[in-house]
Amino acid sequence: MEARKKVARLVLSFVVVFVVCWLPRHVFYFWFNFDPAEYNMFWHVFKIVAYCLSYVNSCVNPLALYFLSRQFRRYYDRYLFCCCRRAGPQAADQHSVALMAAGPHRNRRTLGGGLDTTGSSRPVHERLQMTVVDCAR
C-alpha cells in the first residue's frame, strides 16, 4: 500500500508541474484566437514567459523525480557524480584533495618486463608514489 502512495504522489506531482508549466501557454493561445485586437505589452511578456515555461517543464521533471524518488536519487548520484566520490581517510576532510602519482625517475629506463635498470624486482606500476595535495587554497 505504501508503494502505491509513493507512485500516486509521484504521478500527481508530474501532473501539477505539467499544468503549471503548460497552462499559461494554452491560456495565451486561447485568448489570442478569440481577441487578438487587445495584444499589448502585458500579453507579449505573458507569451514569452509561457513559452519559456513550456521548456522548463522538461528541466523540472528530472528534478522532481530526484526529490521524490529515493531509488532514482541513489542511481542519479551513483552515475552522475561517480567521479566526485572520495573514499578512505580523506573523505572526512572538509577540503578538496587531489592525488598525484609520481612515477619512476625520468633517467631510469625500463626493460621488457617492466623492470628498470636499477635492478628492482617490483614492476613500475607498483613503485608509484601517491602524494596528497590540498586544493582548498
Beta bridge partners of 100: 131
The neighbour count for residue 50, using CB atoms within 10 Å, is: 19
Residue from 11, 3, 4, 8 nearest 61 by CA: 11
Residue 39 counted as domain residue: yes
**pTM for the full predicted model:** 0.53
In angstroms, rounded to a whole number, what is the distance separating the alpha carbons of residues 121 and 36? 85
φ, ψ of residue 102 in degrees (nearest 5): -110, 115
Residue 89 counted as domain residue: no
Residue 45 counted as domain residue: yes
**What percent of the chain is predicted at pLDDT more than 90?**
28
Residue 44 counted as domain residue: yes
Residue 131 counted as domain residue: no
φ, ψ of residue 136 in degrees (nearest 5): -75, -15
Residue 116 counted as domain residue: no
Range of the domain at 19: 2-80
Residue 118 counted as domain residue: no
Counting every residue, how long is the chain? 137
- Give tens-digit pLDDT for 61-119: 888 888 888 888 898 888 887 776 655 444 444 444 444 444 444 444 444 444 445 55
Q: State the pLDDT confidence band at 20, using cuts at 50, 70 and 90.
A: very high
Whether the predicted pLDDT of 21 surpasses 60: yes
Domain count, the chain: 1
Residue 124 counted as domain residue: no
